[in-house]
Amino acid sequence: MPSRGSHDRETVYRILDAGFLASVGFCKDGQPFVIPTLYGRKGDKLYLHGSAASRLLCELEAGLPVCVCVTLVDGLVLSRSAFHHSMNYRSVVAFGTAHSIEEPVSKIEALRIISEHLVPGRWKEVRGPSEQELRATKVLEFPIDEASAKVRTGPPLEDASDYGLPVWAGVLPLAMRCAAPIPDEQLADGIELPDYVRLHDLRLNGATKG
């Protein structure tokens, strides 16, 4: 529905910042492809990464037009009629052309952006990528040339004649939740669970978003 759409950049950015899994679509020689991938955002750019041996990522850096879609489902909307069932959601569709980042410092920074988007605070604790690991990793920068957001919130929208039907109607809220962290069996003695992991569930649901 057009009324749910917006080209407001801040709305687009808020949705992208709340998600972390994108579907990247493109067409090569008449064959459509969709790649699920993690991402990070800085400014008006998204950063994607994967294996340097990935044929599909190599196709993207060749300058093909790309569509990136991110969707967050917030609830199932249960109506009194089959026709008016819906869902509450936030989604972004972005268009642009990706290119590969080859310069090592810029490449590491893009990987840091992706890591910090997923688990803020993690990058400063872990070992950084080695030269061999950098060579084995392809990193793409995706400038957002055009983007639109769509958002649906609220209760079912019914036909007036259906409100009196003896059928339960309302919203079944959905949210992404973290279960209890599972330590690696080979974790060294004395290493405690860091706060950025312990509080990650709050971050996912916006309570600690900075």
Q: What is the pLDDT of residues 43-100, one digit of tens each?
A: 999 999 999 888 778 888 878 899 999 999 999 999 999 999 999 999 999 999 999 9
Q: Are residues 189 and 170 in the same domain?
A: no
Q: Are residues 100 and 200 in the same domain?
A: no
Q: Are residues 61 and 136 in the same domain?
A: yes
> Is the predicted pLDDT of residue 209 greater than 60, yes or no?
no
Range of the domain at 191: 176-210
CB 87, CB 173: distance < 8 Å: no
CATH of the domain at 101: 2.30.110.10
In angstroms, the CA 172 to CA 163 distance is 18
Q: Are residues 39 and 111 in the same domain?
A: yes
In angstroms, the CA 21 to CA 36 distance is 7
Q: Are residues 23 and 123 in the same domain?
A: yes
Q: Are residues 189 and 119 in the same domain?
A: no
Q: Are residues 91 and 166 in the same domain?
A: yes
pTM of the model: 0.88
Q: Are residues 167 and 188 in the same domain?
A: no
Read off φ and ψ for residue 61, nearest 5 degrees.
Answer: -75, -10
Mean pLDDT of the chain: 91
Q: Are residues 169 and 72 in the same domain?
A: yes
What digits encode the pLDDT tens for the residues 123-146? Answer: 999 999 999 999 999 999 999 999
Cα 6 to chain centroid, rounded = 18
What digits encode the pLDDT tens for the residues 169-198? Answer: 999 999 888 888 999 999 999 999 999 898
How many structural domains comprise the chain?
2
Confidence of residue 1 (pLDDT cuts 50, 70, 90): low
Residue 202's pLDDT is 64
In angstroms, the CA 36 to CA 24 distance is 6
Q: Are residues 168 and 180 in the same domain?
A: no
DSSP the chain: -GGGEE--HHHHHHHHHH--EEEEEEEETTEEEEEEEEEEEETTEEEEEEETT-HHHHHHTTT-EEEEEEEEEEEEEE-SSSTT-EEEEEEEEEEEE-EE--SHHHHHHHHHHHHHHHSTT-TTTSPPPPHHHHHTEEEEEEE-SEEEEEEE-SS----GGGTTSS---EEEE-----------TTPPTTPPPPHHHHTHHHHHTTTT--
In angstroms, the CA 90 to CA 92 distance is 7
Q: Are residues 17 and 32 in the same domain?
A: yes
Residue 179's pLDDT is 85
Residues in contact with 1: Cβ distance below 8 Å, sequence separation at least 6, in sequence order? none
Q: Are residues 159 and 200 in the same domain?
A: no
What digits encode the pLDDT tens for the residues 21-34? Answer: 999 999 988 899 99
